[in-house]
Structure formats: C-alpha cells, structure tokens
C-alpha cells in the first residue's frame, strides 16, 4: 500500500518469541499484515524497535529506511519503508507466503 513518501507495510507483532522470525499473513485491521515474531518483550517500545530492525533485515534495507507510522502500543502496526521499492517489494510478497529467520 503506497502512502506519500514511502510504502506502508502492515505488521502483526508476536513479542516474547523464542527467536526472531518474519513471515506469514494475518488479516489485521490495516489489511493483510506481515507477521513478525521477536524475542523482545512488549515493554517500553522494545518489541517495536526489534520489529523495525527485523523488517529492515528481511527486506534488505537499512533500518533507518523503516519507521513506525501507526500502532505504537498495539500488536497491529503500520511501518513506512522509504527505500526504493524495486527489490524489497518482491521480498515482502514472498515473506507473506512463507517465513525466514532474521
């Protein structure tokens, strides 16, 4: 989903996981969301920051090119990716269909 100066990526967060994993699809309130599991707890923004970094790694972009747009205190978040979209949008489609360790 495109939005202004970047592309919006809806995400469903699973904090407190045994390992970081990116992949799968969740029908969330912001549309089809990518599922990201992180080991960080859902306390003081730790899980959100871990998800931001995991999303960047999975898409092959710099963490600075991924920012939280909506859902600071929710498991359903929307991140904005400002990197050029040619390659990472294909990766995103693949991640929704499967998963990978990050």
Q: Which of 92, 95, 102, 51 is closest to 72 using CA atoms?
A: 51
CB 70, CB 6: distance < 8 Å: no
pLDDT greater at residue 33 or residue 84: 33
- What are 36's strand-pairing partners? 13, 22
Q: Could you state, in order of their start, the residue ranges of all structural domains in the chain?
A: 2-94
The CATH classification of domain 2-94, taken from the options 3.40.50.10320, 3.40.190.10, 2.40.50.90, 3.30.1200.10: 3.30.1200.10
Alpha-carbon gap, residue 49 to 29, rounded angstroms: 21
pLDDT greater at residue 49 or residue 101: 49
Alpha-carbon gap, residue 20 to 29, rounded angstroms: 23
Question: For the segment 22-71, what is each residue's pLDDT rounded down to a tens digit?
Answer: 999 999 999 999 999 999 999 999 999 999 999 999 998 999 999 999 99
How far is residue 98 CA from its own chain's centroid?
A: 14
């Amino acid at each position: 989903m495109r939005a202004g100066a970047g592309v919006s990526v809806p995400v469903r967060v699973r904090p407190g996981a045994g390992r970081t994993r990116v992949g799968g699809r969740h029908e969330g309130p912001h549309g089809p969301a990518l599922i990201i599991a992180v080991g960080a707890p859902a306390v003081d923004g730790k899980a959100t920051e871990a998800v931001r970094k995991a999303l960047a790694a999975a898409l092959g972009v710099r963490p600075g090119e991924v920012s939280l747009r909506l859902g600071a205190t929710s498991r359903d978040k929307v991140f904005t990716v400002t990197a050029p979209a040619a390659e990472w949008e294909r990766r995103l489609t693949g991640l929704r269909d499967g998963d990978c360790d990050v």
